[in-house]
Amino acid sequence: EKNLKTTNQVNRKAFPETEWEKFIEQTHLSFQYDILLIGHFHPDKVILNQYKKSSAIVVPGWLSHQSYGILNKQGEFSIHRYSA
């Protein structure tokens, strides 16, 4: 993990928005999801895109942001901080 922090620096400086939008569309065509949760990029805040009637969400890193996500029965996703 220590060595991975120094790899792929060019692509890690900014979120790949164009690729993300393409991925949302391609994935929806294959799976017709209602909600797509992705955690690989770990942005500072939630990234939410709507595609047709579906939601695609990039969630912050749980450990680095000391938080966890909740998906309620209405399909709404929210981030909550760990309590100390």
Question: Does 59 have pLDDT greater than 70?
Answer: yes
Distances (CA, A) of 41 to 7, 8, 32, 76: 14, 12, 23, 21
Widest distance between CA atoms in the chain? 42
Phi and psi angles of residue 9, each rounded to the nearest 5 degrees, phi first: -60, -35
Whole-number pLDDT of residue 8: 60
- The residue with tokens 């991975």 is 4
Angle at 30 between CA 26 and CA 34, to 5 degrees: 90
Taking only the tens place, the pLDDT of each residue in 15-54 is 889 999 999 999 999 999 999 999 877 788 899 999 999 9
Q: Is the pTM of this model over 0.85?
A: no
Q: Are 50 and 40 in contact (CB under 8 A)?
A: no
In percent, the amount of the chain with pLDDT more than 90 equals: 51
